[in-house]
Every structure is written in C-alpha cells, then in structure tokens.
A and B are shown apart, each in its own frame.
Chain A
Amino acid sequence: GENVEQHPSTLSVQEGDSAVIKCTYSDSASNYFPWYKQELGKRPQLIIDIRSNVGEKKDQRIAVTLNKTAKHFSLHITETQPEDSAVYFCAATPRYSSASKIIFGSGTRLSIRP
C-alpha cells in the first residue's frame, strides 16, 4: 500500500529564517498532497494542498513543491514566526482507494527560536 515518509522528525530554526520539510511517497499514481499543522492538544488543520497537475503552489509565507518523477514533495515556510511552532504532517492519497482517503507521514516538530 501507499507509504509516506517525512523528514526531518524535528526542526529548529531561528525566527525569520526559512524552514523546509520533505516527504516522499511510494505510489506514483497518488494525486493529492495536503499539509496539516497540529498545535499541541489541538486538531490538525489544513494549511496548504497541491494536486498532481501542479508543480508548485504558494500562499503568503507557505509554499509546496511537487516532483512527480522523484515522488517527493516539500513544504517551505519563509520568514518564520513564533506561531509557526507546531507539528506538521504531510499526506498523500493512495491509488486504490476512494479519492478522499489520505495517508499521513510521521510528522515534523518545528520549533522557532526567538
């Protein structure tokens, strides 16, 4: 079945610097890649998503890139702020499932140093 690997598991950056989180997926037919942010004790919240017909998508300080050939996608956060501290999960839709089923990576704990 689909497998999603996420790196790094923890990431600490200076406030104002950029943060990059990388994920790989196993099923070349995967077509939808959402990113969720989860603050301590809170629900996962969708922050950005990308579909397989697009190579890059940006929303203010957040961007996601997709390389279908290499089967990897990345989250980029620029000008990081203290409120960006959270756990970030990448996810992908596997092939032989309903369109809305997604498989999550193991998460990256991002800490922003003041």
Chain B
Amino acid sequence: EAGVAQSPRYKIIEKRQSVAFWCNPISGHATLYWYQQILGQGPKLLIQFQNNGVVDDSQLPKDRFSAERLKGVDSTLKIQPAKLEDSAVYLCASSWGNQPQHFGDGTRLSIL
C-alpha cells in the first residue's frame, strides 16, 4: 500500500513569514496526526483529526499554528508568523481504528 505522503520535504523561510505543509494519509485511515520533532527529541503531538473533526489540539500553539482536514482526507498545517523556535521536522501520521500509526517522511523546516 502507498504510505503517508508529505510535501515539501524541506523548507527554509525567514522568521515572521508563513509556511504550509501538506499531508496525504494512507487510503482509508480515518485518524490523522501532526507531530513536531525538534532535533534530538521525540515527536510531540500537535493535533489529531478523526475524519474531518479535531480530537485533540491541546499542544497546538493556536496563536500561530492552524490545521485543517476539510474533506476528511488530505490535511494542511500552517504556521503564521513563524518563529525561530519553530525550526523542526513536522511529521504527519495516520492510523485506522486502534492500529499502529504510520508516519510520513516529514518536512524539515528551517527558520532564518
């Protein structure tokens, strides 16, 4: 089966600019997750969707981060405006039921 697809793979922006990431989950996976992985740390959940509804966004910095999954399939994560501390890899994952999560390759974001 095709895996979780993410784009772009790399992004470099200046602080205070905006950026958007895209994720296409595995076909049929109702649950979609966005994680932030800072260098040397484990992934930290930002937001979890069940179909097109938000299940958990308790760790999402809502003053600058937003995410949507309008049709319950693809999802976008946006940062506006970006700060230096947002430099990280942004991972998307998907799952079905209580089955394990499958991760995409991530987007490496560098803020100058």
Inter-chain contacts of B103 with A (CB < 8 A): 36, 43-45
B41 to chain A, nearest CB (A): 6
Q: How far is the CB of A45 from chain B (nearest CB, A)?
A: 7
With a 10 A CB-CB cut-off, give which of B41, B42, B97 has the most chain A CB atoms: B42
Chain B residues whose CB sits within 8 angstroms of the CB of A61 once the complex forms? none
* A:73-114 near B, CB below 8 Å: 89, 91, 97-107
Contacts of A89 in B (CB 8 A): 42-43
Give the residue among A4, A100, A102, A107 with the most B Cβ atoms within 10 A.
Answer: A100
Flag if A100 contacts B95 (CB, 8 Å). Answer: yes
Would you list which residues of chain B between 1 and 50 have a CB under 8 Å from chain A? 4, 31, 40-45, 48, 50
Contact residue range for chain A?
A: 20 to 34
Point out the residues of chain B lying under 8 angstroms from A104, CB to CB. 42-44
Q: How far is the CB of A46 from chain B (nearest CB, A)?
A: 5
User: Contacting A101 at CB < 8 Å: which of B41, B56, B97, B102?
Assistant: B56
A29, chain B: closest CB distance, angstroms: 15
Query: B61 near A: Cβ within 8 Å?
Result: no
Q: Which residues of B contact A45 (CB under 8 A)?
A: 103
> Across the two chains, which residue of chain B brings its CB closest to A6?
B42
Q: Is the CB of B105 within 8 A of A42?
A: yes
Pair A101/B95 contact, Cβ less than 8 Å: no
Interface contact B55-A44, CB-CB below 8 Å: no
The answer to whether the Cβ of B82 comes within 8 Å of any Cβ in the partner chain is no
Contacts of A102 in B (CB 8 A): 45, 101
Question: In the complex, which residues of chain B have a beta carbon less than 8 angstroms from the beta carbon of A49?
Answer: 100
A interface with B by C-beta (< 8 Å): 4, 6, 32, 34, 36, 42-46, 49, 89, 91, 97-107
- Point out residues on B near A: beta carbons under 8 Å: 4, 31, 40-45, 48, 50, 55-56, 91, 95, 97-98, 100-106
Q: Known pairs A34-B101, A99-B98. 6 more at Cβ < 8 A?
A: A4-B42, A43-B4, A98-B50, A100-B98, A102-B45, A106-B42
